[in-house]
Chains A and B, each alone.
Chain A
Amino acid sequence: MDWIQILSNTAESILSPVTFAFVLASLGLALHFGFAGLLNFGIAGFMAIGAYGYALSILRFGFPWWAGILVSIAAAIVFAILLGAPTLRLRGDYLAIVTIAAAEIARLLFLTNTFDDFTGSASGLFGYHNSFREANPLPDGFYGLGPFSYSSTDWWVRIVGLSLLIVVIWLLWALTRSPWGRVLKGIREDEDAVKALGKNVYAYKMQALIIGGVFGALGGVVYALPSAINPTVYVTSLTFFIWTALLLGGAATVFGPVLGSIIFWVLQAFLTNVLPALTQDGAILEGLTSQQGSTLRFILVGIGLMLIVIYRPQGIRGDKRELTFVK
């Protein structure tokens, strides 16, 4: 087994756009669930809307890439309002079912052949990179060190992704330590008590849903930046993986989701490399096909999610006393 290669591939995942996308989406979920107590199970829908909003505005309307990002943000705001306006008064677990259904509706509408001319249906979207790559200030070439060596295009993707990430982390940090964040945490604990103190609970929840949704949409944009949009990505499993990353790090924290997403992808990358190798002759998992070896890693995600929620619901970064699960 080539351990150097495996470790190098694993390390690389720290700076991969997919990891950035996960961090962004899990920060959105942190605002929704960790701080406001909203059980949003439709984060994959927000990501799909971000990704499609970006690519469609470039491909179909000829927008420049930065305007594409603005369109994504606007689309996420609209989706959040449509979703939230009628549902934010619902009980927690009802909201979970409504959001998961709404995300599935969004995905099926992107996927259907009915709108093939516009959305590309099952083939997805590609070839929207010109404007973005032209804006790349880095000269052509190959830069970096060790596992972190990329072409100038790949660096440009990572720079933009990382910049968005820093802005979003700052926003979440600034919002949640302010009196605004205090109201949100109060709502998470008991919204009637907060209403009785004269706060417009509905408006706060809507603001939280919108902002977290925009974070999720930006995650979708970053996901779409390097290559293409594949509609099979935005399934409910994606939502559940992001929940896993969030709960792993700590839902009611700012850096927990960052840490959780990175650990999630580092482990995924490591297992993706290691497990198939372990199925070779003479290794521990001899007798399994390499396909079975790599399926093991998703089984581990599921078991991991169960164990976190049962034994450490506050996550790695969370305060032991600060269980975010209200009974």
Chain B
Amino acid sequence: MSNNEPVKSTGLHIGDAKPGVAKKDPILVADHVTRSFGGLTAVDVEHLEVPRGAITALIGPNGAGKTTFFNLLTGFDTPNTGEMHFDGKSVRGMRSHQIAKLGQVRTFQLTKALSLLTVLENMKLGAGNQLGEGILKSLIPSIWRKQEAEIEERAIELLNRFKLSEKKDDFAASLSGGQRKLLEMARALMTNPSLVMLDEPMAGVNPALTESLLGHVLDLKKEGMTVLFVEHDMHMVRHIADWVVVMAEGKIVAEGPPDSVMEEQAVIDAYLGSHQETDLGVVTGRVDASEGGEKQ
């Protein structure tokens, strides 16, 4: 673990830390959100508030509905019922790009680097409100040339920060898995988001890059952005999350600061009751791996 421990945000909630607890300053609020496929209910979230300016982790065993819930929040899937507010504005029924325009940007579990665009083009694509992206204005470069130069400047700054500037003219296809994760995050920042949603940012990243990725996520918070991420890597959750939301079988079963929430019986039940290999007991260090295995 690194020496400079991140500063955790505390006092985010009002009252006891239980599922659906109110936050002092929520940026994202979901109510009665359900989504079922065929007869199977994948997501059934009664109430959730995501605190502003903090890093929230969304965890849970495989099949808990985390990614489906993510897709619902970002407009990539439509809920059967429910209401969602972002920054006080209802986003129900909005399409993904409309939600993204409000300042809520996401990344994907399977990294979506645009392979046959250069790294710099990937970055420039992220910038919003580009004059040259209108079909008629695109034909007259003098309209958009100045803005394009500004965008490029900002893109290069970010690439420097993410240590990708040497690769700027390479096709994104030539990057390593970890570098693609970094590129995807950097590209997301080009949209100037207020909420950054990361779907398994650590998946498939080699250990050498883990530290720098964590650092970048913490930087987002320093710059005043809110982060919501889905993750299996408990090291990352404990290390950087200010708040943890636990899902199981589509429902939120626990909420709280990372240190206390993993002690909760509901969380342990959720993990041990599900047939999967990631065992919370192992992660929290209270249960021996072999014991957990026997119980399944």
Contact between A and B in the complex (any CB pair below 8 Å)? yes
Query: Residue-by-residue, is A196-213 near B (CB-CB < 8 Å gives 1, otherwise 0)?
Result: 111111000001000100
CB distance from A276 to the nearest CB of B (A): 43
Is A116's beta carbon under 8 Å from chain B? no
User: Which residues of chain B have C-beta atoms less than 8 A from A180's C-beta?
Assistant: 132-135, 138
CB-CB < 8 A to B144: which residues of A?
Answer: 178-179
A286 at the interface (CB under 8 A from B): no
Closest to A321 in B: B171
**Per-residue 0/1 for A153-193: is the Cβ within 8 Å of any B Cβ (1 yes, 0 no)?**
00000000000000000010011001111110110111011
The size bracket of the interface on B is 35 or more
Q: Chain A: which residue is nearest B141 at the CB level?
A: A178
Given contacts A178-B141, A200-B97, contact A186 B76 (CB under 8 A): no
Q: Which residues does chain B contribute within 8 Å of A201, judged by CB atoms?
A: 97
A271 and B96 alpha carbons, distance in the complex (Å) = 53
Stretch from B99-107, B230-238, B287-295 at the A interface: B99-107
* Complex Cα–Cα for A252 and B171 (A): 15
| CB contact under 8 A between A194 and B125, given known A175-B139, A200-B97, A322-B116 | yes
User: Please, which residues of chain B bring their CB within 8 A of the CB of A60?
Assistant: none
A195 contacts across to B, CB distance below 8 A: 76, 95-97, 100
Nearest Cβ on chain A to B190's Cβ, whole angstroms: 8
- How far apart are A154's CB and chain B's nearest CB, in angstroms? 32
A179-B130, A197-B125, A197-B126 in contact; A185/B138 too (CB < 8 A)? no
| Pairwise interchain contact A186-B191, C-beta atoms closer than 8 A | no
**Alpha-carbon gap, A179 to B115, bound state (A):** 17
Which of B97, B135, B141, B173 is close to A199, meaning CB atoms less than 8 Å apart? Answer: B97
Q: Tell whether B148 is near chain A: CB-to-CB under 8 Å.
A: yes
Complex: A324 Cα to B173 Cα, angstroms: 13
For residue B98, which residues in chain A have a CB less than 8 angstroms away from its CB?
198
**B125 proximity list for chain A (CB < 8 A):** 182-183, 186, 194, 197, 199
In the assembled complex, the CB of B283 is this many whole angstroms from the nearest CB of chain A, namely: 29
B162 within 8 A of A: no
- A45 vs chain B, min Cβ distance (A): 23
Determine the distance from Cα of A175 to Cα of B138 in the docked complex, in whole angstroms.
Answer: 6
| B126: A residues at CB distance < 8 A | 197
Chain B 180-201 near chain A by CB (<8 Å), digits 1 or 0: 0000100110110000000000
Instruction: Produce 1/0 per residue, A120-159, CB < 8 A to B.
Output: 0000000000000000000000000000000000000000
**B148: which A residues are within 8 A, CB to CB?**
179
Residues of A within 8 A of B113 (CB): 193
Residues of B within 8 A of A190 (CB): 112, 114
Q: Is B74 an interface residue (CB 8 A)?
A: yes
Q: Which of B108-128 contact A (CB under 8 A)?
A: 108, 112-117, 121-122, 124-126, 128
B116 touches A175 (CB 8 A): no
**Chain A residues near B107 (CB-CB < 8 A):** 196
Asked whether, in the complex, the Cβ of B100 is within 8 Å of the Cβ of A198, the reply is: yes
Q: Are A174 and B139 in contact (CB under 8 A)?
A: yes
CB pair A182 B112 closer than 8 Å: no
| Chain B residue with the shortest CB-CB distance to A207 | B135
Expressed in whole angstroms, the minimum distance between the Cβ of A175 and any Cβ of chain B is 6
Which has the most chain A C-beta neighbours within 10 Å: B74, B132, B144, B191?
A: B132
Is the beta-carbon distance between B112 and A193 smaller than 8 angstroms?
Answer: yes
Q: Once the chains bind, are B139 and A198 in contact (CB under 8 Å)?
A: no
Give B99's nearest chain A residue, CB to CB.
A198
> Interface readout for B265-290 with A: 1 if CB under 8 Å, 0 if not?
00000000000000000000000000
Take A179-B132, A183-B125 as given contacts and tell me if A192 and B139 are in contact as well, using a CB distance cutoff of 8 Å. no
Whether the Cβ atoms of B133 and A193 lie closer than 8 Å is: no
Q: Residue B97 contacts which of A188, A198, A207 (CB distance < 8 angstroms)?
A: A198
Compute how far the CA of A193 lies from the CA of B190 in the bound complex, rounded to whole angstroms.
Answer: 13
Indicate if the CB atoms of B116 and A189 lie closer than 8 Å. yes
- Residues of chain A lying within 8 A (CB to CB) of residue B76: 192, 195-196
Asked if residues A193 and B114 are in contact (CB atoms below 8 Å), the reply is: yes
Residues in A with CB closer than 8 Å to B112 are 190, 192-193, 196
- In the complex, are the beta carbons of B117 and A178 less than 8 A apart? no
Which residues of B are found within 8 Å of A175, using beta-carbon distances? 135, 138-139
**Chain B proximity of A208: nearest CB distance (Å):** 9
Partner of A198, one of B101, B115, B122, B141: B101
Cβ contacts under 8 Å, A323 to chain B: 116
Q: Which residues of B contact A174 (CB under 8 A)?
A: 138-139, 141
What are 18 contact pairs spanning A and B, CB under 8 A?
Answer: A178-B132, A179-B124, A179-B132, A181-B138, A182-B133, A189-B115, A189-B116, A189-B117, A192-B76, A193-B114, A197-B125, A197-B188, A198-B97, A198-B98, A199-B133, A201-B97, A252-B116, A323-B116
4 new A-B contacts, CB < 8 A, other than A195-B96, A197-B126, A197-B187, are A178-B139, A185-B116, A189-B114, A196-B112
Using a CB–CB distance below 8 Å, which chain B residues touch chain A? Answer: 74, 76, 95-98, 100-101, 105-108, 112-117, 121-122, 124-126, 128, 130-135, 138-139, 141, 144, 148, 171, 173, 184, 187-188, 190-191
Closest 7 CB pairs of A and B: A179-B132, A178-B138, A198-B100, A180-B138, A193-B112, A189-B114, A198-B101
